[in-house]
Amino acid sequence: MAFMQRIKNLKDVVDWGLCVGCGACQYYCSYEAVSLVNFESVGIRPKFHNNKCLECTECLEFCPGYKLNANLLSSSHSSDIQSHPLLGSTYEIWEGNAIDHELRYRASSGGILSALALYCLEQEHMNFILHTGMDPSNPLLNKTVVSKTKADLLKRAGSRYAPSSPCDSLHIIENSDTPCVFIGKPCDVAALSSLRKIRPKLDKNLGLVLTFFCAGTPSTQGTIDLLKQLHVQPDDIDTLAYRGNGWPGLFKVSSKKHTSEKSLTYEKSWSFLEKYRSFRCKLCPDSLGEFADIASGDAWHIYKKDIPNPGMSLVLVRSKRGKEILHKAMEAGYLDLKRSNTQAVFAAQGLPERRKELFGRLLAIKLLFIPTPEFKGFSLFSVWKRNTLHMKIKTIAGTIKRLLLRGLWHRNPPTQKLRSISIIKQ
């Protein structure tokens, strides 16, 4: 179609609002043409140093903003897995928590990710964990970090509802002498899953890949506006936690000037922050992390507001490697899990239901001649077909209305006019 815009390079991915800010392009680019910038109101995005990126298409091979293909997962072809059109492929589903009380308490939900990471360090003798933590020099920001001890993991446990780009430091895993663990958002892990196919040393050194269920990443502006609600100056903060220290934990901020901490409940802070998620996050078909070895999220179906619970997670085992490590971690006393099932995932999470609307949203975008990411292997059409006619029309019309009202129907490059800060590579 003559009017249809096509994604031809990485700059197009960014300008059409499809970048997820994983940082994989910065890691991969051998021309040193890309650095990362955190645009406060947008998220982490690549900045291009020369015109090389306009001619180069290498990054499109693994860019999760451009394409995701669940058909390429080796688990898609295995016989001992269950395939569900809304949940993807799973070897097993569990629910439970870390046995270590400190980890469970400090973590977001049941501390499964931190406990698995600790097991890999202590029992599998993996070299380190590459993941995300608060940037101590600016608590508003995240930083890609390397954890080697339980103390490191305790410091970095808990979700940070702000932009992160853990793929920016994949060279550290690639250059490691022994295998390592990677923890990232589902989109980071999707980039990694494509990259490991073209970078053999990276592949060899990936001992375990973990992710969490993800409804999308709010921009830094979300945090800044939330701090304003609490009458805290963003320049004045000392530490900032989005949750953890109990389940679901509080949004907590301590400032340099005031001795007392300010806090908000998880419900209030997340319902504020979620409005700052990007356009691309709202199109995500992979919120339950199909490209990881193991994905974990809140076991909300067990949560009762007035009954204290130190934290419970749901665990989706996505690969043979994930299954092997999970079982060994249970036997070694790191995890306390019991079998769960698809019904529990639906009872706990609204995320899988989102997939039902996605085909209609993408269709609406195409009707405005706006480029969309290529999603394969997510059963988007088969789950869309089952919606009522009313639902189908509402999704398409609602998406078109939102795109027009928010000015998302044309190229919209994040510009230098927006407040930004460079991300420093490890």
- Complex with ligand FAD: residue 118 or 380, whichever CB lies closer: 118
Partners of 37 in beta bridges:
45, 422
| Residue with the two structure tokens 């179609």 | 1
Q: Please select the residue that binds ligand FAD; options are 132, 169, 176, 254, rule is CB under 6 A.
A: 132
- What is the footprint of ligand FAD within residues 340-399 (CB under 6 A)? 349, 351
Question: Does position 161 bind ligand FAD by CB under 6 A?
Answer: yes
Classify residue 146 by its DSSP letter.
E
Compute the least distance from the CB of residue 366 to ligand FAD, in Å: 27
- CA gap 386, 405 in Å, rounded: 29
- Complex with ligand FAD: residue 118 or 396, whichever CB lies closer: 118
Q: Please select the residue that binds ligand FAD; options are 39, 62, 212, 276, rule is CB under 6 A.
A: 212
Burial group, residue 391, by CB count within 10 angstroms (0-12, 13-18, 19+) = middle
- Complex with ligand FAD: residue 351 or 365, whichever CB lies closer: 351
Question: Does position 128 bind ligand FAD by CB under 6 A?
Answer: no
- The residue type of 182 is F
Question: Does position 109 bind ligand FAD by CB under 6 A?
Answer: yes
Question: Does position 221 bind ligand FAD by CB under 6 A?
Answer: no
- The residue type of 188 is D
Binding mask 308-347 for ligand FAD (x = CB under 6 A): -----x----------------------------------
Question: Does position 183 bind ligand FAD by CB under 6 A?
Answer: yes
Please say whether the beta carbons of 216 and 116 come within 8 A. Answer: no
Classify residue 91 by its DSSP letter.
S
Partners of 218 in beta bridges:
277
Question: Does position 206 bind ligand FAD by CB under 6 A?
Answer: no
- CA gap 189, 316 in Å, rounded: 15
Compute the least distance from the CB of residue 221 to ligand FAD, in Å: 14
- Complex with ligand FAD: residue 349 or 395, whichever CB lies closer: 349
- Complex with ligand FAD: residue 12 or 298, whichever CB lies closer: 298
- CA gap 200, 146 in Å, rounded: 21
Q: Please select the residue that binds ligand FAD; options are 11, 45, 67, 156, rule is CB under 6 A.
A: 156
Stretch that binds ligand FAD, among 15-23, 259-267, 294-302, 321-329 (CB under 6 A): 294-302
- Complex with ligand FAD: residue 120 or 363, whichever CB lies closer: 120
Long-range contacts of 87-91 (CB under 8 A, 24+ apart): 87/288, 87/316, 87/342, 87/345, 87/352, 88/286, 88/288, 88/290, 88/318, 88/378, 89/290, 89/318, 90/316, 90/317, 90/318, 91/317, 91/318, 91/319, 91/320, 91/322, 91/323
| Residue with the two structure tokens 């059109």 | 85
Closest CA to 73 of 205, 182, 186: 186
Q: Please select the residue that binds ligand FAD; options are 37, 113, 209, 250, rule is CB under 6 A.
A: 113
- Complex with ligand FAD: residue 48 or 303, whichever CB lies closer: 303
Stretch that binds ligand FAD, among 28-36, 179-187, 367-375, 397-405 (CB under 6 A): 179-187
- CA gap 308, 104 in Å, rounded: 13
Which residues are at the interface with ligand FAD (CB under 6 A)? 107-114, 131-133, 142, 156-162, 164, 166, 183-185, 212-215, 217, 296-298, 313, 349, 351
